[in-house]
Structure formats: C-alpha cells, structure tokens
Amino acid sequence: GFAFSDVVKLTIYIVADRNLGKPDYAGMNAGFRKYFGSADNPQTVARSAVEVAGIQFPGMLVEIEAVAARDAR
C-alpha cells in the first residue's frame, strides 16, 4: 500500500556498463526523475549511489534499496 511519495531514502548499487566502460549515472538519474521530483510525485528523497563490481543477477546493472515511511493510517 505504499507509494513512491512514501519513499524517504534510496541506496543505489550500480555496475559499470560494458558499453560505456563506466556506470551509467545519466541513465540512472533519468530513471530517478520519472518517479521523484516529477509532476506525479513532486517529492524527492535522500539517496546514495555506490559503484559495485557486480550484483546477484548477471546482466543487471542497477539494484535499488528503498526505505519508505508514513504515518499510521
């Protein structure tokens, strides 16, 4: 029952894109702007981005951990 507007913190683990030779931070930021700081959700969140050597699923370039909070309803 949570929404993107309930997210208060993101930790983003990003792997270097073989085609770019580095992490695609521009692509990550473009994806971020689709869900945060947008007309649908003007909220933005604290976030950290960490470059890692790999993540659990081969071929995946990004893993995101989200912390959400809201008042009891």
The letter for the amino acid at 30 is A
State the SS3 of 39-62. Answer: CCCCCCCEEEEEEECCCCCCCCCE
pLDDT for the residue numbered 71 = 85
Judge whether 7 and 67 are in contact, CB under 8 Å: yes
The pTM for the full model equals: 0.85
pLDDT by residue (tens digit) across 51-60? Answer: 999 999 888 9
